[in-house]
Amino acid sequence: MAEAPWLTIIGLGEDGPDGLCSASRKALADAEIVMGPARHLGLLPDPGAELVEWPVPFADGLKALEGFRGRRVVALVSGDPFWFGAGSVIAARLGAGEWRALPGRSTFSLAAARLGWPLETTLCLGLHAAPMTRLRPDLAPGLRAIVLLRDGAAVGDLAAYLRAEGFGESRLTVLEALGGPRERVSMATAADLSGTFSHPVCVALDVAGSGTVLPRVSGISDRFFETDGQITKRPVRALALSALAPMPGERLWDIGGGSGSIGIEWCLAHRSLRAIAIESRPERAARIRANADRFGLDRLRVVEGQAPGALAGLDLPHAVFVGGGLSEALMVDLAARLPSGTRLVAHAVTLESEALLAGWSARLGGELLRIELAEAAPLGARRGWSPSRPVVQWRVVL
């Protein structure tokens, strides 16, 4: 018979033990040690166990928790431990047989119950440890979202962010200490929000306003990116993303990242996608980071250095885009380094780089596409076509 786990993770609400199931109450009664934030420990009557306050930073608590291995321990967390909660972090640290979890009612469920919103069509985000910009790709009139925030002051930060992005008309329902005696619900628009709020707090958003909405297909307007001119322009970027064909869970190498537009749009295609931008110029690497921050994309990593040398030690990709720094040495390295099945897309704008792609296409196959675009521009008193430099795209599956 398997040995019982030494650790029980219990989701505790603002109503304290009154809202716990019988299994959670028994685990508390049997515990030698109860560990959790001061707020949670304060909700308990005398449990007859040693009470240990979870320290700050959070990682220090994980070390302390492991030190109690072999004793009967309860870790108190908020609501559902595995929905933007601490449960997943604790579970990842311990072995599969060392812990069990007894979830409580999540803040999302409580908020939806107050508002009458269907959770299956409501965006749920944890912004207690993430930037407000994490909302940016989803902001659109009519969106409903419930977001967890780190503290009461963050409610004002959220309203300010919405105003700055042109969504000041959004209706905010601020829900404090849901399910407990301190519960308070208040409503205002982002433009009119005032007052102070207490932790724990979440905000339900009913988004409205005239802010710019990001498209859900490739080809975001160039104006969303800071750039020094080194950027894959919108129409060409859309063709590049189509060729790269991002699929859930994949990783991209964006070699010669420039402004980061390819890696950013790759990550925006799905929440599970990741990217590594390799950029040799420090000022451009900083610009890529700033552009990624604008979209709340901590899934885009920037590596400063010149490829192919900077590729050493990186997690292997599912797809690679070469938008700058194309050379024979780079192509030789990629052909040797990348596993079979990797999708490779490269762009060339000079005669020399075109010849390089033509030669590699003859060796490895794939598809060559010449992209010639022209925009209408003034021509005297009328208008004519102003052509851009042609781009040659090579796409191959290794």
Q: What is the pLDDT of residues 33-75, one digit of tens each?
A: 999 999 999 999 876 899 999 998 888 999 999 999 999 999 9
Q: Does residue 2 have a pLDDT over 60?
A: no
Q: Does residue 188 have a pLDDT over 50?
A: yes
Q: What is the pLDDT of residues 96-108, one digit of tens each?
A: 899 999 999 999 9
Average pLDDT over residues 121-142: 94
Across 60-93, b (16+ Cβ under 10 Å) vs e yields: ebbeebeebeeebbbbbbbbbbbbbbbbeebbee
Question: In the chain, which residues fall in CATH 3.40.50.150?
Answer: 222-397
Of the candidates 37, 19, 53, which has an alpha carbon nearest to the alpha carbon of residue 183? 19
Q: What CA–CA distance (Å, rounded) separates 267 from 251? A: 9
Lowest mean pLDDT among 2-6, 179-183, 222-226, 380-384: 2-6
- Helix, strand or coil, per DSSP, at residue 118: coil
Q: What is the pLDDT of residues 224-265, one digit of tens each?
A: 999 998 899 999 999 999 999 999 999 999 999 999 999 999
Could you tell me if 387 and 374 are in contact, meaning their C-beta atoms sit under 8 angstroms apart? Answer: yes
Fold of 222-397: Rossmann fold (3.40.50)
Average pLDDT over residues 121-135: 94
Lowest mean pLDDT among 38-52, 112-126, 132-146: 38-52
Q: Residue 337 has which token pair?
A: 């380094």
Measured in degrees and rounded to the nearest 5, phi and psi for residue 249 equal: 85, 5
Phi-psi region at 384: left, alpha or beta (left = phi > 0; alpha = psi -120 to 50): beta
Q: What is the pLDDT of residues 65-108, one digit of tens each?
A: 999 999 999 999 999 999 998 999 999 999 889 999 999 999 99
Q: What is the pLDDT of residues 300-341, one digit of tens each?
A: 999 999 999 999 999 999 999 999 899 999 999 999 999 999
What is the structure's pLDDT at 273?
Answer: 97
Q: Does residue 23 have a pLDDT over 90?
A: yes
Q: What CA–CA distance (Å, rounded) separates 75 from 65? A: 8
* Residue found by looking up tokens 């690679």 in the block: 320
What is the structure's pLDDT at 327?
Answer: 96
Question: In the chain, which residues fall in CATH 3.30.950.10?
Answer: 108-206
Longest dimension (CA), the chain: 89
* CATH number for domain 108-206, candidates 3.30.950.10, 3.30.70.141, 1.10.760.10, 1.20.1050.10: 3.30.950.10
What is the structure's pLDDT at 259?
Answer: 95
Task: Report the CATH number of the 7-105 domain.
Answer: 3.40.1010.10
pLDDT band at 1 (very low <50, low <70, confident <90, very high): very low
> CA separation (Å) from 240 to 213, 244, 246, 300?
22, 6, 11, 18
Question: In the chain, which residues fall in CATH 3.40.1010.10?
Answer: 7-105
